[in-house]
Amino acid sequence: MASIKDVANLAGVAVGTVSRVINNAGAVKPATRDKVKAAIEQLNYVPDEVARNFKMQKSKMIALLLPSIWHPFFSELAYYIEDELDREGYKLMLCNSGGKPEKELYYFDMLKQNKVAGVVGITYNDIENSVSTDIPMISIDRHFNKKITCVTSDNFEGGRIALRELVKAGAKKPAFLGNVPFVYSETMLRKEGFVHEAKILGVPYEVYEEPDPLRDEDKYYSTFLNRYQDIDGVFAITDMAAAKYIEKAKEAGIRVPDDVKVIGYDGIQDHPFFHPLLSTIRQPVEEMARTAVRLLLKKTEGETLDREVYQIPVTYRAGETT
Amino acid sequence: MASIKDVANLAGVAVGTVSRVINNAGAVKPATRDKVKAAIEQLNYVPDEVARNFKMQKSKMIALLLPSIWHPFFSELAYYIEDELDREGYKLMLCNSGGKPEKELYYFDMLKQNKVAGVVGITYNDIENSVSTDIPMISIDRHFNKKITCVTSDNFEGGRIALRELVKAGAKKPAFLGNVPFVYSETMLRKEGFVHEAKILGVPYEVYEEPDPLRDEDKYYSTFLNRYQDIDGVFAITDMAAAKYIEKAKEAGIRVPDDVKVIGYDGIQDHPFFHPLLSTIRQPVEEMARTAVRLLLKKTEGETLDREVYQIPVTYRAGETT
DNA sequence: ATAAAAAGTGGAAACGATTCAAACTAAGTA
DNA sequence: TACTTAGTTTGAATCGTTTCCACTTTTTAT
pLDDT in tens, A306-322: 999 999 999 999 999 98
- Delimit the CATH 3.40.50.2300 region(s) of chain B: 59-153+285-312, 155-283
Q: What length does chain B have?
A: 322
User: Right CATH number for A4-47 from 2.30.110.10, 3.30.1490.100, 1.10.260.40, 3.40.50.720?
Assistant: 1.10.260.40
Contacts of A174 (CB under 8 A, 6+ apart): A163, A166, A167, A194, A198, A203, A205, A206, A231, A232, A233, A234, A235, A261
pLDDT of residue A129 exceeding 70: no
Give the residue from chain A lying closest to B239, CA to CA: A273
Which one-letter DSSP state was computed for residue A81? H
Using a CB-CB cut-off of 8 Å, the residues of chain A touching B61 are 93
**Number of CB atoms found within 10 A of residue A219's CB:** 11
Q: Can you give the pLDDT at residue A147?
A: 86
| Residue among B211, B201, B212, B187 at smallest CA distance from B264 | B187
Report residue A101's pLDDT band, with 50, 70 and 90 as the boundaries: confident
- Residue with minimal CA–C1' distance to C10 is B14
| CB of A64 closer than 8 Å to CB of A94 | yes
Between the alpha carbon of residue A310 and those of residues A75, A126, B245, B320, the distances in Å are: 21, 20, 41, 43
Distance (Å, whole) CA B9 – CA A218:
61
Q: Can you give the pLDDT at residue B213?
A: 56
φ, ψ (nearest 5 deg) of residue A160: -65, -45
A239 touches chain B (CB under 8 A): yes
Is any atom of nucleic acid chain C found less than 7 Å from the CB of residue A25?
yes
- Delimit the CATH 3.40.50.2300 region(s) of chain A: 60-153+285-313, 155-283
The CATH superfamily holding the domain A155-283 is Response regulator (3.40.50.2300)
User: How much of chain A is helix, strand and coil, in % rounded to 5?
Assistant: 45, 20, 40
pLDDT of residue B182 exceeding 90: no
Distance (Å, whole) CA A269 – CA A282:
10
Alpha-carbon distance A128 to nearest alpha carbon in chain B (angstroms) = 20
Give the residue from chain A lying closest to B74, CA to CA: A70
pLDDT of residue B22 exceeding 80: yes
Q: Can you give the pLDDT at residue A184?
A: 87
Contacts of B63 (CB under 8 A, 6+ apart): B92, B93, B94, B95, B107, B111, B116, B118, B119, B120
The CATH superfamily holding the domain B59-153+285-312 is Response regulator (3.40.50.2300)
Average pLDDT estimate for B170-178? 95
Instruction: Choose the closest CB to B96 out of A79, A109, A275.
Output: A79
Q: Can you give the pLDDT at residue A128?
A: 64
pLDDT of residue A293 exceeding 70: yes
The CATH superfamily holding the domain A60-153+285-313 is Response regulator (3.40.50.2300)
| Residue among B131, B163, B142, B143 at smallest CA distance from B233 | B163
pLDDT of residue A234 exceeding 80: yes
